[in-house]
Amino acid sequence: MTLVATEATRESLCAAATLRREEMDGFAEGLLGFENDVDLPHRAHEGKSRLADLRAMFVAVADLTSDPMKPATERDLKVTRDYMRELTRIAEREINAIVLSCKRARRQAAPWSGGKEMLH
């Protein structure tokens, strides 16, 4: 995911949350295309579900920070920024686990590989 220096302001948090949502949408689209019913390995399916939950959290942050009528103290914004950093780390781990799970499944399914990784 893109490294973003996020300030504890409504505008910065909203932009960062929107970026994270777009990154997760792009990953899901790249993984699944327009097919929602793809046969994924179990770990990849779990990761996809976790990413959907994380995406919903980033959408909620963007919605809350984009509305100036919703109260938020300076402390609230700092705490939200810190939570977003942790959610980003979790999303990165899930994306990595999905990619590795799909790679292993593909390698095992490849008839020419005999289940072994090809070395170049």
This prediction's pTM: 0.82
33 exposure class (CB count in 10 Å sphere: 0-12, 13-18, 19+): exposed
At residue 87, does pLDDT exceed 90? yes
Q: Is the pLDDT of residue 120 over 50?
A: no
Residue 106: other Cβ atoms inside 10 A: 11
Rounded CA Rg of the chain: 18
- How many whole angstroms from its chain centre is CA 77? 21
Q: Is the dihedral of CA 9, 91, 87, 71 positive or negative?
A: positive
Eight-state DSSP code of residue 112: T
Mean pLDDT of 88-109: 91
How would you class 14 by CB atoms within 10 Å of its CB: exposed for 0-12, middle for 13-18, buried for 19 or more?
middle
